[in-house]
Chains A and B, each alone.
Chain A
Amino acid sequence: MLKVSGLNVSYGDVQVLFDVSLEIRVGEFISIVGANAAGKSTLLRAISGLLKKTSGSIEFQGKQLVGRPPYAVVEAGIVHIPEGRHVFPLLSVRENLEVGAYTRRKSRKDLRRSLEELYGLFPQLYHHRDQLAGSLSGGEQQMLAIARGLMSRPTLLTVDEPSLGLAPMLVEKTFQILEHINKENVTVLLSEQNVFNALSMSDRAYVIENGRIVLTGAGKELLTDEHLKKAYLGM
């Protein structure tokens, strides 16, 4: 489904990703784990077309995405839930969701159906539908960011650090939601510092260090890897 090969990314003169390659198959739940500043977010942002200085290849369902603008990436079916949620604070919850359906805006009926489905999945968003998104709690904003992303019915959802700044109970809930979405045939690419949780959920995972992929394998296998245990799990 998604094939990244030989990806290099720089911010100005500073190279952040080096020769990164990975492959995701339809329906998989893939994690990218690593320390802060390892390059996880950069990788997701490069896939989304947000970064200019990108070379290599990002192929999605046979289409080359490098050099394509972000809207073309969304139109192809990849939606990125950014780190820090980035809901539109002065739009209501409902308006946020409507904006999320931008690529499908032509069909009113479609939009209403998506809204109903997502309100079913996130009842608290329905409850707060007329409230300004900026007035929601952090956990609710994270739910809104995910729901907003799903409004365009992506085939691949990339999620950047959804657990950041959330209480443990909400982290748990966020991961449950992502697992649920994955079971509904949305492929998920998750970037997380919360290594234990991410690996236990994932079909496969990639470990990224200083902008390079250093380790890859099935999620549960990686949990027993000696290097990983020492570096990220404190064992």
Chain B
Amino acid sequence: MDPTLFTQLLISGILLGGIYALASIGLTLIFGVMKIVNFAHGEFFMVAMYLTYWVVHYFHIDPYLATLILVPVVFLIGIVTYYLFIRPTLSSSVLAQIFITVGLSTIIQNVVLLFWSADFRSISLGYATDSLVLGPFPALHIEEAMVSPARLIAFGLAILLSLAFYLFLKLSYTGKIIRATSQDRSAALLMGINTDRIYRLTFAIGIVLVGLAGGLVLPVYSVHPFVGFDFVLIMFVVVVLGGMGSVVGAMVSGLIIGVVEVFSSYWIGQENKQVIYFLVFIAILVVRPSGLFGLKEEEELEHIETID
């Protein structure tokens, strides 16, 4: 393959993958801590895109600034959603939990459709419409590669935010409490941890992370009521591939899926690109059924629910 083309595709893939990583961390976090699969995750992505869009539209501020300003709002949406829909089903069957988040997804899509119509809306970065040119690098036989500034900024911020969240989880006291709760809820209760509060916080953080991803891509993608669906499918692939509950896994497999997607859409076309990343997905799962960074079954924990 032509090295220039290869470099171009690789760069585009990595840039895309950074966004997938950030968007998926929240999903894997919520699953890891609460054992709940949030099927409405893509809708929070979409809602955050809309909120950013309206803030930019009415107040004419920078979309990245708007994304950051909206963090408390998105956090609050997470808290309210937790109380209204997630908390009541925490001790219900898995089926009920699936129904509640799938139902929520449908409701959000249609409410948004009702208020803001099915129109595609987009913004453009006034200050960065021209592509950046990398290269040429004659020694590597690479001619010029083009990079869209909006994608580059989105990627940079996404990676920065993902790393910041990872460090928070690893180093802060609250992060340790969240990890302890995810590893053994009953032991966490016995340490005096109010796990309900930790669940509430975890869910809201997960929503904030996907919301940030939504805001960051607004200069690249148009927003419409069903944009979440386009992304959530990939988020699920990323989460399962990385190992459900693994934050590092989501970051690594986000990048992998981004690269695979870009290469396959070049080779076999935009409309069939899913075929390839699902094949890669299946191939990796055959070798490592619990995902790249998932726990093997024997490492998983049993809970003290046995009768005395």
- A binding-site residues for B, Cβ under 8 Å: 11, 14, 16, 37-42, 45, 48, 50, 69-71, 74-75, 79-80, 82-84, 86-91, 95-96, 98-100, 102-103, 105, 134, 148-149, 152
A39 x B308 contact (CB < 8 A): yes
Bound state CA distance, A16 and B186, in angstroms?
A: 20
Known contacts A88-B179, A90-B183; A69/B304 CB under 8 A: no
With A50-B189, A152-B192 as contacts: A42 and B304 at CB distance below 8 Å: no
B177 at the binding interface (Cβ < 8 Å): yes
Closest to A12 in B: B307
Report if A99-B299 is in contact (Cβ < 8 Å); known contacts: A37-B308, A71-B192, A84-B304: no
Contact between chains at A71 and B304 (CB < 8 Å): no
Contact between B184 and A88 (Cβ–Cβ < 8 Å)? yes
Instruction: Specify which of B190, B299, B301 lies most central, judged by the most chain A CB atoms within 10 Å of its CB.
Output: B190
- A102 to chain B: which residues have CB within 8 Å? 177, 191-193
CA distance A79 to B193 in the complex (A): 12
Residues in B whose Cβ lies below 8 Å from that of A40: 308
Nearest Cβ distance between residue A190 and chain B, in whole angstroms? 15
Number of interface residues of B (CB under 8 A): 21
Indicate if the CB atoms of B304 and A99 lie closer than 8 Å: no
| For the complex of A and B, 4 pairs with smallest distance between CB atoms | A74-B192, A86-B187, A70-B189, A41-B308
CB interface residues, B 272-308, toward A, < 8 Å? 299, 301, 304, 307-308
Q: Which residues of B contact A16 (CB under 8 A)?
A: 307-308
Which residue on chain B has the smallest CB distance to residue A74?
A: B192
Query: Known contacts A84-B304, A91-B176, A98-B176: does B191 contact A148 (CB below 8 Å)?
Result: yes
**Chain B residues with Cβ under 8 A from A80's Cβ?**
190
Q: Which of chain A's residues have a CB closer than 8 A to the CB of B177?
A: 99, 102
Residues on B with C-beta less than 8 A from A100 are 191
- Which residues of A are found within 8 Å of B188, using beta-carbon distances? 99
Q: CB within 8 Å of A: which of B177-203?
A: 177, 179-180, 183-184, 186-194
Question: Is B115 an interface residue when CB atoms closer than 8 A count as contact?
Answer: no
Q: Are A71 and B194 in contact (CB under 8 A)?
A: yes
- B308 near A99 with CB under 8 A, answer no
CA distance A233 to B188 in the complex (A): 36
When A91-B176, A91-B180, A99-B176 are in contact, do A82 and B192 touch as well, CB less than 8 Å? no
Measured in the bound complex, the distance between the Cα atoms of B187 and A83 in whole Å is: 10
Contacts of B194 in A (CB 8 A): 69, 71
- Residues A91 and B191 in contact, CB atoms below 8 Å apart: no
Most buried by A among B180, B188, B192, B194: B192
User: How distant is the Cα of A98 from the Cα of B187 in the complex, in angstroms?
Assistant: 14
B59 interface residue (CB < 8 Å to A): no
Rounded to whole Å, the gap between the CB of A102 and the closest CB of chain B is 5
Interface pair B299/A134, CB less than 8 Å apart:
yes
Question: In whole angstroms, what is the CA distance A16 to B308 when docked?
Answer: 8
In the complex, chain B residues whose CB is within 8 Å of the CB of A96: 180
A37 contact set on B, CB distance < 8 A = 307-308
- Contact check, B304 vs A86: say whether CB atoms are below 8 A apart: yes
B267 at the interface (CB under 8 A from A): no
Q: Of B190, B193, B307, B308, which is within 8 A of A86 by CB?
A: B190
Contact across chains for B179 and A91 when beta carbons are under 8 A apart: yes
Which of chain A's residues have a CB closer than 8 A to the CB of B299? 89, 134
Q: B28-41 interface mask toward A, CB cutoff 8 Å, 1 = contact, 0 = none? A: 00000000000000
Interface pair A82/B193, CB less than 8 Å apart: no
Residue in chain A with minimal CB distance to B179:
A91
B-chain residues with CB within 8 Å of residue A149 when the two chains form the complex: 190
Bound complex: CA A123 to CA B191 (Å): 22
Say whether B58 faces chain A, with CB atoms less than 8 Å apart. Answer: no
Question: In the complex, A183→B88 CA distance in Å?
Answer: 45
**Complex interface: chain A residues within 8 A of B186 (CB):** 50, 82, 86
Q: Is B173 an interface residue (CB 8 A)?
A: yes
Please give the distance in Å from B291's CB to the nearest CB on chain A: 16
- A105's partner among B173, B184, B301 (CB-CB below 8 A) is B173
B contact residues around A90 at 8 Å (CB): 179, 183
Nearest chain A CB to B133's CB is how many angstroms away?
Answer: 45
- What is the chain B residue whose CB lies nearest that of A101? B191
Contact of B190 among A38, A42, A70, A134 (CB under 8 A): A70
Q: List 11 A-B contacts (CB under 8 A).
A: A38-B308, A50-B189, A71-B194, A82-B187, A88-B183, A88-B184, A89-B299, A99-B176, A99-B193, A102-B193, A152-B191
In contact, A74 and B191 (Cβ under 8 angstroms): yes
C-alpha gap A38/B308 in the complex (Å) = 7
Whether A88 and B308, one on each chain, are in contact in the complex, defined by CB atoms closer than 8 angstroms, is no
- List residues of chain A with CB within 8 A of the CB of B184: 86-89
| Nearest-CB residue, chain A, relative to B193 | A102
CA distance A154 to B46 in the complex (A): 48
- In chain B, positions 198-243 with a C-beta closer than 8 Å to chain A are none
Chain A residues with Cβ below 8 Å from B308 are 16, 37-42, 45
Q: Which of B191, B301, B307 contacts A99 (CB 8 A)?
A: B191
